[in-house]
A and B are shown apart, each in its own frame.
Chain A
Amino acid sequence: MSTATEPRPASGHGRSPLAPVGDAFNRVAGMLPQWAWIGFWLILAVLYGLYGSELNDGLYESVIQTLAYVMMALGLNIVVGFAGLLDLGYVAFFAIGAFVAGWFMSGHFADSEIYFIVADQTRNVPGIHINFFLVLCIAAAFTALWGAILGAPTLRLRGDYLAIVTLAFGEIVPRVFELSTSGPFGLGDLDISNGRQGITPVDKPYLPVPGLDDITRIDITPFYFIALGMLLVVLFVNIRLRDSRLGRAWIAVREDEVAAAAMGVHLVRVKLWAYAIGAAVGGFAGVFLGVFQNTINVDQFEFGFSVFILCMIILGGMGNLAGVVLGAVALSMINRFLLPELNPIPDKLGLDFDVTSISFGIFGFLLLTMMVLRPEGFIPNRRRKLELHEDELEGPMEVRAP
């Protein structure tokens, strides 16, 4: 029997130690209307884009990369967060998108001379050179197609089995690119990847606006604004789809496939759309990363990348867009800045290893800590939160015996 002096637990299982973080976030978020927050963040993002490179060049560059990672996380969130399909091979779509950029925006196919709305200086280089923004659309469509093709064999799988098969696809796709130096799958003699050397250099984006200077790799400000614009597009699509007929069907499928089908939801179609749209976003961001890093190289497409992106959405709060963005920013920054800062520590302890080389161990540790302390992520989706804390619902569940 509990007495009045005993501290009363807030719920059956007690509140997670990290709960105040999310609560605080929600409190702060509630202080201003939504449009005010959107305006605030937008102005901040634009100001940083204009002046950030003067403050700290290295940080500025990694912020651009982070923007691309946020896009990736938002894309994977459609598959994992909305439709509930655990995909461990998301890197495959990064690879496909990046290689589309490699094919259409470099001198890789040196026999051809195709130019479409590109800078004058690019016209001196042989190869296929198509405008960046057009390639974005091509890559999104192409990866969407591959998302559906790779998703199709997994439709009957759930849980662990789905994860294993997608993991395999994530490994297969980069290897296919790596080994297809004489024709895709060894058929014919078209080199589609330049093997381990990869495709480099890649064309810069070009805006056919008179009076505008060509984009260079010395001043990377335009890259920032291109990434920001792309991110806004991805966010917009995410929000609109989440609140649509398709978005509701995704969540219904995640909740209960049998009931969803009985409500007239075409399971195959709805799942394939999740794969296709998630993949399209991955390819979209992949083009940008390939162009920004000026190289498309199979070393970029490691299994670790899939896990990295998955960690972002789990850490931030699966299914919640603000959470996903926060998780992606946090992990990218930890990866880029915190880990190198920690580098001297093993040396001081008399150990001889590089902290960055065990980064995935550290991410794993973060993930585990998160799972113990706050499994729903920092800013959880209230749906997801419910799944994990169903027994802590306010008031007892009213279940009468039949």
Chain B
Amino acid sequence: MSANGNVLEASGITKRFGGLVAVNDVDFAVPHKSIVSIIGPNGAGKTTFFNCMTGLYKPTSGTVTFDGSDITAKAPHIVTQAGVARTFQNIKLFKTMTVLENVLVGRHCRMKARITGSIFHTPFVRREERETEARARELLKLVGITRRHQDLAVSLPYGDQRRLEIARALASDPKLLLLDEPTAGMNPQESEQLRELMEKLRSEQGIAVLLIEHDMKVVMNVSDHITVLDGGEKIAAGSPQEVRQDPRVIEAYLGSQA
């Protein structure tokens, strides 16, 4: 944790694709053990901003600091290693692996087995495999997938696939979990379960959550802090109440004639 209590700090993030400025000079911070959201109309640059923070994109300018160390433009696996895990807007499960195997892959960067150890099944590797599997089952239970662990990931219902993505991300023992539209395609009851899960992660495991979300009910209920992007710019930030009443936010969502 850095001195000012923020687990993640991004300052002056700009991302240009050729002439298009997808994200323009955005400052952003995630306080320790908080749940913060980024909202905005479609095409506002939310996911691009997300990708800049997880190493998928190199920001054109700006810096990202996680837990006191600079992770700007670091490769995705290094960012994950540092403690940032994420899910994807369009589900990116390893479709032909089983539910359990998906979570095991999520644990990859915390495992230490090497090739010779894996070939000879050293006691260390055997123990690690056992522990990893136990942990994976625990996580699946945590997100609410209690059965069908040996089924192929793609055979799960849609809501469970979203939950599996979260379990897979949690397997890397993150300090910060980035969820890109996790409730897309979920019914209200499932969204509510997800909200409970986020609160539980924060209170029980001290994981901060950064959320991109369209479901305003979820966003307003769960967030400590909301940042609003429109056209790549940060147009508002604050508590749910403040954002809800901000005229620029209303304009961005409803159009200027409203």
Contacts and interface: CB of A to CB of B under 8 A. Distances in A.
Do A and B interact? Answer: yes
Given A237-B119, A240-B118, A401-B185, A262 B105 contact: no
Contacts of B86: 262
A386 B96 contact: yes
Interface string A246-288: 1111011001101111111111000001000100000000000
B133 to A, nearest CB: 12
A241 B81 CA distance: 23
B109 A265 contact: yes
Contact of A265 (B77, B92, B113, B185): B77
B172 A264 contact: yes
B95 A263 contact: no
B113 A400 contact: no
Contacts of B76: 258, 261-262
A265 B56 contact: no
Per DSSP, chain A at the interface is helix
Interface in B142-196: 152, 154-155, 157-158, 168-169, 171-172, 181, 184-185, 187
Contact of B113 (A237, A244, A255): A244
Interface residues of A, number: 40
B56 A249 contact: no
Q: Which residue, of A237, A263, A382, has the highest number of chain B Cβ atoms within 10 A?
A: A263
A261 B77 contact: yes
Given A256-B94, A262-B80, A263-B106, A386 B111 contact: no
A247 B94 CA distance: 13
A384 B96 CA distance: 8
Q: Which residue, of A241, A251, A255, A382, has the highest number of chain B Cβ atoms within 10 A?
A: A255
A399 interface: yes
B94 A259 contact: yes
A383 interface: yes
Interface residues of B, number: 45
B108 interface: yes
A261 B106 CA distance: 10
Contact of B54 (A249, A262, A390): A262
Interface in A220-259: 236-237, 240-241, 244-249, 251-252, 255-256, 258-259
Interface in A381-400: 382-384, 386-387, 390, 393-394, 397-400
24 contacts: A236-B119, A240-B121, A244-B113, A244-B118, A245-B113, A246-B115, A248-B97, A248-B104, A248-B108, A251-B97, A252-B97, A259-B94, A262-B54, A262-B76, A262-B80, A262-B92, A263-B106, A264-B81, A382-B152, A383-B96, A393-B154, A393-B155, A398-B157, A400-B158
Interface of A: 236-237, 240-241, 244-249, 251-252, 255-256, 258-267, 273, 277, 382-384, 386-387, 390, 393-394, 397-402
Interface of B: 54, 56, 75-77, 80-81, 85-86, 88, 92-97, 101, 104-106, 108-111, 113, 115, 118-121, 125, 152, 154-155, 157-158, 168-169, 171-172, 181, 184-185, 187, 214
Per CB-CB distance, the 8 closest pairs between chain A and chain B, nearest first, are A264-B109, A244-B118, A383-B96, A264-B80, A259-B92, A402-B184, A261-B76, A255-B94
